[in-house]
Each structure stands twice: as structure tokens, then as C-alpha cells.
Amino acid sequence: MSTDDPAEKPRRRVISVAEKLAHLEAYDHAIQTHQGGAYLRANGLYSSQIAQWRKQRDAGLFDRKQPGEAIGKPSKEQAEIARLKRQLADRERELETTQTALDIRGKAHARAT
């Protein structure tokens, strides 16, 4: 005897845009302290969700969304903009690292002479 009572069926968890942004920020902080995996386990999340949410955020899909409104997939232009934003952020980090290394080498050279 089967019952089709909706209360007995498992429901998919719905995560709002605000919650996704909060999870992204908290996960980035957890990664800084080498606790990323623990954060994911504690919150029942997967790294693939984080990657997808980052792409959606970078493509601007979270901007001006109302609670419960569908997010959808980024258009080709939005995906390209997100890719370029990530690439720019990577290059800026590399530049910062290079500048720090050059400063250190300059100070070391100044002491040596």
C-alpha cells in the first residue's frame, strides 16, 4: 500500500542568492586557513557547487535577483566576461607576487653593496 503524501517525499534544499554569496565568502575564508574541506562537510556542500556559484557570481547572474527567482545559465557573453574577470584577478595576484619578490631582491642587493 503506497501513499502519495507530499509530506513523506524528500524535498530538495533551496539555497538563496544571499546564502550562496555568504557561503562563497565563508568558504574563501576557510580556504585561507586550510579548512575548506571541513567547511564543505559541515554545511553539506560540494566543491562543484562552489565552482558553479563562483561562475554565476562572476558572470553577474546574482545581481538584482529576488528571493526565489531562477538564476539560469550565463549567456556566452556573460561567461566570457566572468572568464576574463578571473583571468584579470589571477594576473593581478601574479603581479603582486612579482612586485614583492622584486622589492625583497632590491633590499637584499642594497644590503650587499
Q: How confident is the model at residue 14 (pLDDT cuts 50, 70, 90)?
A: confident
Q: What is the mean pLDDT of the chain?
A: 84
Query: Domains in the chain: how many in total?
Result: 2
Q: What angle do CA 31, 35, 41 make, to 5 degrees?
A: 110
Q: Do 68 and 101 have their domain in common?
A: no
Helix (H, G, I), strand (E, B) or coil at 65: coil
Q: What angle do CA 85, 88, 34 make, to 5 degrees?
A: 90
Q: What is the DSSP letter of 73?
A: P
Q: Do 26 and 38 have their domain in common?
A: yes
Q: Do 23 and 68 have their domain in common?
A: yes
Cβ within 8 Å of residue 61, ≥6 positions away:
71, 72, 74, 78
Average pLDDT for residues 19-47, to the nearest whole number? 94
Q: Do 16 and 68 have their domain in common?
A: yes
Residue 48 within a domain: yes
Q: Do 63 and 90 have their domain in common?
A: no
Q: Could you list the residue range(s) of the whole structural domain that residue 64 is in?
A: 12-72
Q: Residue 3: is its pLDDT beyond 70? A: no
| Ranges of H-type helices in the chain | 17-32, 36-43, 47-58, 76-112
Residue tagged 544571499 (cell numbers): 18
Q: Do 86 and 98 have their domain in common?
A: yes
Q: Do 20 and 66 have their domain in common?
A: yes
Residue 4 within a domain: no
Cα gap 50→37, rounded to integer Å? 12
What pLDDT score was predicted for residue 8? 77
pTM above 0.75, yes or no: no
Q: Residue 7: is its pLDDT beyond 80? A: no
Residue closest to 72 by CA, chosen among 82, 62, 84, 86: 62
Q: Residue 4: is its pLDDT beyond 80? A: no
Q: Do 62 and 79 have their domain in common?
A: no
What pLDDT score was predicted for residue 54? 87
